[in-house]
Structure 1
């Protein structure tokens, strides 16, 4: 039985490990932290449980597929429930919107704005669905080894059909006039860390996926899914080494031999890396000559997604929460986004997201209490790095003041009984996110598909990569797809198959 080492027990790493273990390999995961999940982690204390990172479940079939691939029933590992309404959107000077994936509820909402916008909204969904099907077949489900894997007539024709050269916001504006609807369809590019005013229009597939396929909640929070994957991996016979940091990936004469841990060399037939690709290049392959084009200078020059400032607030009061997921838009959304990606400032009037999982699972807080998760998009560390205790306290108060003024949490500061926060510095330190960029490399045209780090490493045999900074990109379902592609690449190279 061939031994495969997986570096990192984040979503991508453990998904790849499950597949490989089921396929008959002897798999060992090495994870530096004391539990699995990577950014899909959990804060659990004083009766409160908070998801650290991702909170919105889209494309539920992909979550389930890693279990059905192993002939297991996903329901034996985690419980999923549909969320409706999916989102409540709040605007400083306009009426809020409630978005439902139920067509009979969505259409009246759109018609209340105007019939022209309702028609345009549906036309937008039709247009982006067609482009999504092209992208899925030609790019998302395929990996790229060579120039010709991408530059061939079929791929080039598909690329032209995708119409990727417009930015997301401009593309949406061709279909709808109402500014609220434009923002509702555009802001979700921030889910993968890119500006809607710069990111390719293809990324407007995100709201389409939410509306067509629904948004779901996992009982126990997103970490319930991570624990379900851990359970499956161990059942299959995999070995998990926690609190074990990998120091180096061993490469000799262009061949990957294994890893170094605490000075000890551990050998394997292949290595799959789920750690953030830029971190892996600079820290796990210290000899630049072994990295091909990925020199330190190249890594620094690459573009990175935004990061997040998060508040986890346990409160001793129940609030009349309308929706589990809510977005509050800055008065000047364009300025807000420019501060994230252009000027590199903590936004003076930030947009923010509130997630209240206790609306659907009261076990996540003590009786009569609420778990309130607040996320503010902020610049990554190469653009802004002042996260001193004084600044964090200032930003915390700024966000609490906005919550008191703009949300139902008008007295939240009087009821906080538990509090923790996450900054870009913590994302960099705890999860090896390069520059603290929560979503990895920014998905620009120059950093997508063939131009994104490949799943099979070109400069050393038997080395494979998955995760948000590799192809196909960020977001939990897409990261899980990267794990699938990395495994497929490894199997192509296995002479015994």
Structure 2
């Protein structure tokens, strides 16, 4: 009889793992606590508007292509993809912005105009970033984080200094304009740490940005989730929603069952794509690998205060993705990482999917998503949410020279408390554990439990790290690890 695997959670990593494991012949059931699948990548629909609740950036298309190719499919079999031009804009002051277009050559012209002589340096910088990307995405990140020797090769040894330098230092060596520096430091924020704490090897994110570009799946990022659900079901995966897990049952050091809604489900193997810290609280304390002090000392990626806003008119002076860097980045970063507190003047990001995708909003109207990065674990109240909405909307109106507050049909918010309630997220973090030097590869929480036989983990708190493409990869890594440790049809003793 085929081995049964129960998977906790239905985010990108869980769905990816379910597909690989079902293809390998395992009986796979996915348990999702919420009423819809997708984990953080769910959708909000209201009054004819559609919002991606979670991820809105589609980067590294090659990783998605590689995932679907493993099943003799392509992304285009499931959803339409459009390369955005412009990719995004960055505001620095009132009517003062730079626009990043869809090719390195066009981006170089923007750099040259802002800082004469910088275009040549940019080509050199991105060439190095591409080289790092080829090593990282085609090789390193597809390692399971079991041994430090996974990082050792002739190619990585030649770049050893890049693991001990940081993005901020390397960017500032070459570029003088603060505007250009902020654009080059921006992509590593997806990795969850300050540029000064992110190894310069991660410049490969700059190649993802400038070299590969920014895409949009028609009807939103949720289409990727729906594509993975369709693929999983084609492969025989069973998906249960409204099915929170109350307990992981361990007998004689071996994972045997899970309990959901008071019902017990036998399992040869349990894989959790839910929050790693939360998953371990479902175990008796003696079976937990990591203590509370372990988690407390780790550098977590930010949480977020998000607003989903329906406007009754089309907005001007903004693109699909628009960043607002009109305040001091380092002051805001300090409020996230050094002395966690609500930032006095936050940077923020806004997405207007209806600029690209007519399905996002009724005709003549605009869908807006606003995001403020925050330290995880902050006090979260309706009053604070309202205060910060007023702050960013006031700035937004001033920077883009238009009135928008009087044109709001509705707004919904999502913050620390919601990340905890909806996703059991540790301290309400939004993106997982940051990719700092001491939290890279084998130094991250393990895919396989050291204390419980047949218990595995996947997702953004484990290998390879935060972000949608790494989550897809994490699902593949853990599936490979499971098939290696427990080949199908094997009777586990």
| Smaller-chain TM-score bracket | over 0.9
Which residue of structure 2 aligns with residue 235 of structure 1?
234
Tell me by how many angstroms 1:441 deviates: 1.4
Which residue of structure 2 aligns with residue 348 of structure 1?
344
Of 249-258 and 266-275, deviating more is 249-258
- Distance change in 2, residues 1:217/1:48 (3 Å): same
Which residue of structure 1 aligns with residue 396 of structure 2?
403
Of 93-102 and 435-444, deviating more is 93-102
* 1:481 aligned to which of 473, 477, 486: 473
2:482 is the alignment partner of 1:490: yes
Question: What's the RMSD between the two structures over aligned residues?
Answer: 2.0
Which residue of structure 2 aligns with residue 180 of structure 1?
179
Partners in 2 of 1:106 and 1:321 — Cα distance? 19
Tell me by how many angstroms 1:138 deviates: 5.2
> Does the 8 Å contact 2:33/2:241 carry over to 1?
yes
> Does the 8 Å contact 1:309/1:375 carry over to 2?
yes
> Does the 8 Å contact 1:87/1:324 carry over to 2?
yes
Which residue of structure 1 aligns with residue 453 of structure 2?
461
Which residue of structure 2 aligns with residue 309 of structure 1?
305
Partners in 1 of 2:104 and 2:170 — Cα distance? 23
> Does the 8 Å contact 1:93/1:331 carry over to 2?
no
Partners in 2 of 1:475 and 1:125 — Cα distance? 21
Partners in 1 of 2:156 and 2:46 — Cα distance? 53
Deviations 1:288-325 (A, max 9, x none): 22123x12332233221111111111000012354211
Partners in 1 of 2:131 and 2:383 — Cα distance? 49
Question: After the TM superposition, which residues 45-444 of structure 1 pair with which residues of structure 2 at under 5 Å, given as runs?
Answer: 45-92=46-93, 95-136=96-137, 139-145=140-146, 147=147, 149-150=149-150, 154=153, 158=157, 160-161=159-160, 163-281=162-280, 283-285=281-283, 287-292=284-289, 294-381=290-377, 384-385=378-379, 387-408=380-401, 410-444=402-436
Q: Normalising by structure 1, what TM-score?
A: 0.93
> Does the 8 Å contact 1:316/1:368 carry over to 2?
yes
> Does the 8 Å contact 1:123/1:175 carry over to 2?
no
Deviations 1:245-274 (A, max 9, x none): 011222222322231223332112211111
Tell me by how many angstroms 1:107 deviates: 2.5
> Does the 8 Å contact 2:94/2:399 carry over to 1?
no
Of 179-188 and 264-273, deviating more is 264-273
Deviations 1:346-375 (A, max 9, x none): 221111111110011112111211001111
Partners in 2 of 1:322 and 1:400 — Cα distance? 13
Deviations 1:23-80 (A, max 9, x none): 2211100000000111111111111111111101011122233332222343231111
Partners in 1 of 2:316 and 2:98 — Cα distance? 17
SS at match of 1:418: strand
Count of equivalent residues: 488
Tell me by how many angstroms 1:124 deviates: 1.3
Gaps of 5+ in 1: none
Partners in 1 of 2:267 and 2:144 — Cα distance? 23
SS at match of 1:182: helix
Partners in 1 of 2:241 and 2:355 — Cα distance? 33
Deviations 1:209-246 (A, max 9, x none): 12111211011111111111112212222111100001
> Does the 8 Å contact 2:301/2:430 carry over to 1?
yes
Which residue of structure 2 aligns with residue 43 of structure 1?
44
